[in-house]
């Protein structure tokens, strides 16, 4: 096989699928729910602590007399470590598995929170934000790898269940900041270090399971060797570029709702702040349900159909949203959240199947891109809203799901699903 080609375990067009080769490791097809649920719980804690960083900006700005440029630097310090380091961490641990790196990574978050609670200078705040980002950069790629190991072949379900924890944590983090940190001040941030301690205990147990079951991390051939289709490295990179484009479409549109939906409802329909927040939480709840459904359905019908439906299928609803009344707007936002959220696990699992020997690097790449694209998208849409209006933003982003047409160029690498006996 050429060094510029990659086997992805599919079979040539026009040929019949060969019988599947049974996994050599007993129990490899058993889903370990305790491990996946533990990872989902720790994902909730991790993203809860991570989402508190921007939520406490007003406190930091007032107490340390920071300007907006300095606030932006805090975001940059956090995002550089939280986003850009993830693929590097995944690439390193693909080559040198480190079962207890999850607990060590959470330790960085713990130190970052303690430092943030005591920071009396701007450099200390930057260092604290960077340490919290380092913890996140270790957690996401390694947790995604372990979730895949524990999935028993139900990769989509495992990734979606893992992701639900993160979605929930991101939603409750700002609420906890509002009800705990705002009334009690910067020093109260240290209370959340107990969440990091709990996560470290749980992740140590997960690391022990990981060490005992390292063999599950190795990609297993599921078809006779003669049936493996070989994709050139360029074809694989082209497919990855399409997946990034699909992720861009999903995340930028999602950012338009998570960041500006309340302003849209208040400005266009005159809702109160409280009512707008309730509507936002309904949308965030739809994201959780959609994420779970996407993984479950993808395991049964394949990743590519889910991507078609999740990205392109949401187009009629996004086009209608800017032109309907309040009740329809609320209903459409929930439908959009349900459908669009199903894409992430399908995109991630497809990419990991495309590059089976680089599960951690792929997870880090896509979690990093997901985080970074959402932030960049929110900033860009804010600029557009300042120049035009929030309503104009929703008219523009309504066309982003058209990028779902790119799904047609993805190679068919998935194996036919075995019917239940």
Domains of the chain: 32-217 (1.20.1250.20), 229-409 (1.20.1250.20)
Please tell me the predicted confidence (pLDDT) of residue 84.
77
% of residues, the chain, pLDDT over 90: 25
Q: Are 36 and 150 in contact (CB under 8 A)?
A: yes
* Whole-structure pTM value: 0.68
Q: What's the rounded mean pLDDT across residues 202-227? A: 71
Q: Report residue 222: phi and psi, to 5°.
A: -115, 5
Closest Cα partner for 143 from 85, 98, 179, 95? 98
Helices and strands, counts by H and E, the chain: 17, 2
**Looking up tokens 């500006």, which residue turns up?**
260
- When pLDDT is cut at 50, 70 and 90, the band that residue 219 belongs to is low
pLDDT at 276 over 90: no
Treating both helix axes as pointing N-terminal to C-terminal, what angle do 193-212 and 33-55 enclose, rounded to 10 degrees? 150
Q: What's the rounded mean pLDDT across residues 129-137? A: 90
Average per-residue pLDDT for the chain:
80
Closest Cα partner for 217 from 352, 385, 52? 352
- When pLDDT is cut at 50, 70 and 90, the band that residue 217 belongs to is low
Q: What's the rounded mean pLDDT across residues 301-309? A: 88
- When pLDDT is cut at 50, 70 and 90, the band that residue 15 belongs to is very low
- Six-digit token string for 25: 């490791």
% of residues, the chain, pLDDT over 70: 85
- When pLDDT is cut at 50, 70 and 90, the band that residue 348 belongs to is confident
Cα 112 to Cα 74: distance, rounded to the nearest angstrom: 13
Please tell me the predicted confidence (pLDDT) of residue 89.
83
Q: Are 370 and 99 in contact (CB under 8 A)?
A: no
pLDDT at 275 over 70: yes
Comparison of pLDDT for 25 and 303, the residue scoring more: 303
Q: Mind listing the pLDDT tens digit for each residue in 86-118?
A: 888 888 888 888 889 899 999 999 999 999 999
Q: Are 263 and 393 in contact (CB under 8 A)?
A: no
Comparison of pLDDT for 321 and 58, the residue scoring more: 321
Q: Mind listing the pLDDT tens digit for each residue in 369-405?
A: 766 676 677 777 877 888 888 899 899 999 999 999 9
Among 75-89, 108-122, 127-141, whose mean pLDDT is lowest? 75-89
- Six-digit token string for 140: 């996401």
pLDDT at 220 over 80: no
pLDDT at 363 over 50: yes
Q: Which residues pair with 412 in a beta bridge?
A: none
C-alpha distances in Å from residue 116, one per residue of 88, 124, 232, 299: 25, 7, 47, 42
Please tell me the predicted confidence (pLDDT) of residue 19.
34
Cα 399 to Cα 24: distance, rounded to the nearest angstrom: 47
Please tell me the predicted confidence (pLDDT) of residue 8.
52
Cα-Cα-Cα-Cα dihedral sign, residues 104, 105, 110, 112 = positive
């Amino acid at each position: 096989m050429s060094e510029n080609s990659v086997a992805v375990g599919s079979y040539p067009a026009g040929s019949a699928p060969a019988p599947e080769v049974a996994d050599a490791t007993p129990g490899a097809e058993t889903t370990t729910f305790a491990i996946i649920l533990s990872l989902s719980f720790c994902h909730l804690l991790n993203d809860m602590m991570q989402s508190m960083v921007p939520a406490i900006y007003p406190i930091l700005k007032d107490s340390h007399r920071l300007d907006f440029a300095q606030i932006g630097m805090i975001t940059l310090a956090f995002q550089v470590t939280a986003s850009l380091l993830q693929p590097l961490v995944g690439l390193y641990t693909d080559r040198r598995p480190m079962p207890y790196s999850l607990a060590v990574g959470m330790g960085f978050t713990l130190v970052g929170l303690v430092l943030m609670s005591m920071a009396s200078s701007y450099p200390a705040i930057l260092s604290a934000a960077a340490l919290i980002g380092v913890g996140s950069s270790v957690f996401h790629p390694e947790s995604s790898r372990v979730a895949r190991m524990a999935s028993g072949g139900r990769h989509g379900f495992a990734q979606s269940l893992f992701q639900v924890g993160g979605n929930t944590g991101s939603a409750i983090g700002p609420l906890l900041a509002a009800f705990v940190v705002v009334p009690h001040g910067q020093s109260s941030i240290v209370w959340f270090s107990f969440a990091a301690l709990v996560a470290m205990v749980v992740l140590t147990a997960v690391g022990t399971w990981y060490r005992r079951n390292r063999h599950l991390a190795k990609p297993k051939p599921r078809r006779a060797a003669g049936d493996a289709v070989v994709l050139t490295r360029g074809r694989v990179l082209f497919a990855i570029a399409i997946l990034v484009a699909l992720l861009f479409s999903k995340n930028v549109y999602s950012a338009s709702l998570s960041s500006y939906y309340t302003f849209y409802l208040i400005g266009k329909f005159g809702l109160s702040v409280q009512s707008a927040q309730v509507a936002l939480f309904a949308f965030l709840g739809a994201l959780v349900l959609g994420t779970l459904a996407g993984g479950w359905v993808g395991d049964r019908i394949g990743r590519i159909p889910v991507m078609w439906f999740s990205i392109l299928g949401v187009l009629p609803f996004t086009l209608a949203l800017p032109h309907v009344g309040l009740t329809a707007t609320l209903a459409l936002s929930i439908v959009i959240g349900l459908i669009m959220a199903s894409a992430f696990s399908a995109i991630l699992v497809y990419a990991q199947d495309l590059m089976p020997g680089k599960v951690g690097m792929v997870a880090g790449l896509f979690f990093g891109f997901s985080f970074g694209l959402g932030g960049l998208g929110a900033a860009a849409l804010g600029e557009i809203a300042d120049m035009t209006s929030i309503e104009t933003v929703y008219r523009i982003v309504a066309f982003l799901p058209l990028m779902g047409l790119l799904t047609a160029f993805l190679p068919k690498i998935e194996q036919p699903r075995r019917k239940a006996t």
